[in-house]
Chain A
């Protein structure tokens, strides 16, 4: 756990080495640390202490697992109090303590370093420093909200903490997060040298008359700063996403008091936040979910996959080509003519150029990527392809034609994946001599930035096809969910349900901005009406019709989406691209279209916005639960992260199934029954949820 080396020169080197690959600053560690520090402080031979780590990193923070298991604010306090007490004792013990940061120090690890009297980092460009808790819906809870602003001022500290920014060594030095950088080999000696230089073993904030750098919270600039920052962060957060406000409150109130009083205030806010379901939802969907959803191809399966074939040079095909080439695969892109192929090649080039101009990639990297890409109309160029992704129009006949052409040139064992968003894999595969070679790989645009990938297995899909798809997905660094074949699979089924309900509300005369704002206020990044009309309305009309036949999702039964879309299309409204959709779109953004109320007269008694919101949110949860019940998707966490990554479902609400847990299955079922009574059978509660409500069960551990 801890190694202590009491040197003859009086410097005690305390090396943290907890079990595992990273140092976990958990309760066991705290107990040992506290005891060790206490003994060293009391030891007359010890002049000062160097704290370092035996691992590659210094310490990457508190134990998220531990945090996920808390139920009440008191549970949270039981975790943080020992840590806070131990580092405060270290800070005020009367012996100088220096953190020798041999590697990355984040979260609690950095907070431990903040309580040391000096921070010296090894000269490693890959080490990171900071307090990233807010990016997981939490906030620093180990004294960071109080020590960092006393070190570098409120403004700089807030910026780092609320954005969860982590800084590499050079930037951390410039920002004041660390005091000094030393060559890695000399790190301990540099720390020892400082100890032996006779420094004052007192933090400046524990000295009388201390004034923190930067403005006073009660000054006019200070008050204005707090008001402005609050608005900026609040405007982007959902109603129940309050981490930013908690950090600002700790800064505002804590910085008007002593450190110890400020630490009490931080503890109060942290305890409330960490125990809240909203923080847990964020940790689960933003941290654990994507980790669990990393594709895990069997070892060696990708050894033979060097060249990827992509058919179809549209937005999706181009994005897939670029992303695969960036990942190191050679890519042959097939388009319908030589001119189209050349155009696609140009567009793919632009994707990379944009990244280079934003500093995200070097020009050399871009050249290397383009060198791996061939675009042609000639299918015979695919004869050496090891895996093919088809990304042509969503039409069965067009896709079947492509598969016939592919069959003629590909080696017989090569897997064919389709980027279809909704055509059954079984139907697609029926054109193939060997249907087992077909799998669905539904990417999201823009492919170069959207991490989500929906992998669809039909009962006929072979294990080989699936394993190879895993390999390609992992090489392309996608976060994947795996679903079974069925109308709409999972993501399109859910998004269609959401769009259908939004269009139904529109047909009932609810103004589109109310429908959108109801969800924006809940924390969705885009409202469902705006989302729906990213798709051209005539196309959306066709899609809704195709989702209305056999296998229509329950959530779309008796919906009025088709009716609404027909009226809009007949009135010449085409969607955002045409400038005229449900909204008018101009240079200044969307505006209300005055003709809308002729198509959809406002309801006599306007629906309360809370009911609008419930209909849109509950419909997603109900449909997700039905998909689980039918076995289309079997992992609730996958169902949740797909929504967060796929259509900006607010992470703090947990995703459609996490939301049921957050509200409570009993309460959710009662709400949905009321919606069904008032608005129709599309809110019918599936047996799975009713049973969960009876037994008080959850999708995710509390």
Chain B
């Protein structure tokens, strides 16, 4: 079986997901084209006849819809002979793009692909896609639909994560992100975003709040309390979890992932394809897995996906050097560490979605990129990337660093 190597990766800084966010005035096709152009400048992939450009997009509607990957590469002036496609699995879409690309290579159905992702949450709010989830009453009845914020608070209740626990996690995420930026750990892969006049729109993740403390976080209101108590969603959570008397609402804007804009792209191929381009492989994608669980609790499947991906290569969690576990909500990571026994000094060592933001379709590629850079920086060998997903899923990918 051919092996799928990561040759290079780039990502934009993450703009605030609001009307005054640094990337808000771009359109999704512009932002996607920018990141593809940046990757192309470093690798020349557009001239190497890639099999497909696969983009993860969480909410592919309106200007963010309709096969943005193909639209973006054409917009960027890349050869018309390059196909493009999008993949969507809510929050893990970017990692699914990486896995889809790797699968094509490992199955011999292509030797060079780009996997990327993009989300402009300042333009298309989360849940903008539609689908039955949330607005189809009969569907909601059948799955006892609760939105992810309530799922996160439910998880905290079931596993006794207090407000202090989740806030402490968030403080640490902010510290690590600030230190990583300060220490230049991201400089290899961050590409500043410019407009068509060459003006720099954004060159640094702007969502971070390095001055965050337990005191500042304690002031924030519980983000999901009203919808839980007044909106009836806590009562619905108790349908599947009758052991809960009251849902403890501990998640806030400060300990949940940030709403941001961003894009990323990664070049994946066979060793030979890389050689032809004069590129050295940086890591190999050894395995990946998907897992699913009860959609109400929703957020606990990263551990299952991780264990499955590791089982495929005969490994266990303690064998892995570094983890990127998407910080959808602080409880998600706390629970992951409880389930796998992995300690916090191996997990999200450079911060995560709580401090830097989680641009839904792009995150999976971004945190693979961050993991790769950190493995190289520290000389460590192996890493897991994993994300929790709406409607109760988890995706995980296992990579090993390669010495040239």
Given contact pairs A223-B127, A235-B235, A236-B232, A230 touches B137 in the complex (Cβ within 8 A): yes
Decide if B232 touches A235 in the complex (CB within 8 Å). Answer: yes
A257 at the interface (CB under 8 A from B): no
B141 at the interface (CB under 8 A from A): yes
Decide if B135 touches A252 in the complex (CB within 8 Å). Answer: yes
> With A and B bound together, what is the CA distance between A234 and B227 in angstroms?
13
Min CB gap B189→A, angstroms? 33
B21 at the interface (CB under 8 A from A): no
Range, interface on chain A:
35 or more
Decide if B239 touches A521 in the complex (CB within 8 Å). Answer: yes
> With A and B bound together, what is the CA distance between A549 and B354 in angstroms?
63
B238 at the interface (CB under 8 A from A): yes
Given contact pairs A231-B236, A520-B238, A223 touches B141 in the complex (Cβ within 8 A): no
> With A and B bound together, what is the CA distance between A511 and B238 in angstroms?
14
| CB contact between A231 and one of B128, B138, B231, B246 (< 8 Å): that residue | B231
B328 at the interface (CB under 8 A from A): no
A245 at the interface (CB under 8 A from B): yes
For A511, the closest partner residue in chain B by CB is: B243
- Chain A residues 509-532 with CB under 8 Å of chain B are 511, 513-514, 517-518, 520-521
| CB contact between B233 and one of A222, A231, A244, A511 (< 8 Å): that residue | A231
Decide if B242 touches A514 in the complex (CB within 8 Å). Answer: yes
Range, interface on chain B:
20 to 34
> With A and B bound together, what is the CA distance between A139 and B384 in angstroms?
52
Q: Which residues of B contact A517 (CB under 8 A)?
A: 238, 242-244
> With A and B bound together, what is the CA distance between A222 and B127 in angstroms?
12
Q: Interface 1/0s, chain A 394-438, versus B by CB < 8 A? A: 000000000000000000000000000000000000000000000
> With A and B bound together, what is the CA distance between A441 and B239 in angstroms?
38
Q: Which residues of A contact B134 (CB under 8 A)?
A: 223, 226-227, 230
B44 at the interface (CB under 8 A from A): no
- Chain B residues 122-149 with CB under 8 Å of chain A are 125, 127-128, 130, 134-138, 140-141, 145, 147
B41 at the interface (CB under 8 A from A): no
Min CB gap B296→A, angstroms? 13
Q: Which residues of A contact B1 (CB under 8 A)?
A: none
Decide if A218 touches B239 in the complex (CB within 8 Å). Answer: no
Given contact pairs A231-B232, A514-B243, A521 touches B138 in the complex (Cβ within 8 A): no
A591 at the interface (CB under 8 A from B): yes
Decide if B245 touches A513 in the complex (CB within 8 Å). Answer: yes
Q: Which residues of B contact A239 (CB under 8 A)?
A: 239
> With A and B bound together, what is the CA distance between A583 and B231 in angstroms?
24
| CB contact between A249 and one of B128, B138, B236, B245 (< 8 Å): that residue | B138
Min CB gap A6→B, angstroms? 47
Decide if A591 touches B242 in the complex (CB within 8 Å). Answer: no
Min CB gap A588→B, angstroms? 8
A232 at the interface (CB under 8 A from B): yes
Min CB gap A530→B, angstroms? 11
Decide if A234 touches B140 in the complex (CB within 8 Å). Answer: yes
Q: Interface 1/0s, chain A 622-649, versus B by CB < 8 A? A: 0000000000000000000000000000
5 CB-based A-B contacts, threshold 8 Å: A218-B130, A232-B231, A233-B232, A249-B136, A520-B235
Given contacts A236-B235, A249-B136, 14 further A-B contacts (CB under 8 A): A228-B231, A230-B140, A231-B140, A231-B231, A236-B232, A246-B138, A252-B136, A517-B244, A518-B242, A520-B238, A521-B238, A521-B242, A589-B246, A591-B245
Return the 9 tightest CB-CB contacts between A and B, nearest first: A235-B232, A517-B242, A248-B137, A235-B235, A226-B135, A245-B137, A227-B134, A513-B245, A223-B135
